[in-house]
Structure 1
Amino acid sequence: MKLHASGEDYLETILLLQKEKGMVRSVDVARYMEVSKPSVCHAVSTLKEGGFLTMDVDFFLHLTDVGREVAEQTYEKHCFFTHLLTEAGVDPKTAEQEACRMEHVISESSFRHLKQSMDKKE
């Protein structure tokens, strides 16, 4: 199943909330992302069908191995582009917003090449 940017954002948010809180419910995701509960419900349903997450009997969300991999890759790109933009002088809020868009459009291969190139320079 091909994920859209919004699906990657939901997985990334669940990953971050799990690191922060341990256990995550849909309401936590809605608050963090500032979206409606029905939007989260629809996304969770789609991500469950795609095999990216599960929900237990207490309604806690759990990333599958595939979901965690996508979330971690998305978050890595987000951090990389946020850092790159702020280092270039972009104000942090703008850098954060633009990194969120950039993380979804770059291919994994191009990202690895860019990251490797930047690592060599440092």
Structure 2
Amino acid sequence: MSIPQNLKYSKDHEWLAAEDGLATVGITQHAADALGDVIYIQLPQVGDRVEAGQQCGEIESTKSVSDLVAPVSGEIVALNEAIAEDPGAVNTDPYGTGWLFKVHIAEEPGDLLCADEYIAFAG
């Protein structure tokens, strides 16, 4: 499993790339593989406030429906509009074109994992 070293990870299998108080969020390859073929993603809306560790959307695959959990608290400022047309991008490129949303970070939780910690956690 290829895990980018420059990202932070949640125990709910989301990743985030944070810079200057803005985080891009997606799901990890581990989560995408576990879900199977993703067919629909319900994202929060721009302007919504999300809380770290709380559900902010859903991801539907051919196997199941799973909660999308916010890895940080803050306000949603952008959505990956292309994901509605091609939700399978989270399977094929979860760390690139499969990103889900951007959030202005209000508070970053202390329980985010570095890549090596996530690898050990996810196994």
When the two structures are superposed, what TM-score results if normalisation uses the length of structure 2? Answer: 0.30
More strand by share: 2
> Which structure's relative contact order is higher, taking Cα pairs within 8 Å and 6+ residues apart?
2
Structure number with larger C-alpha Rg: 1
More helix by share: 1
When the two structures are superposed, what TM-score results if normalisation uses the length of structure 1? Answer: 0.30
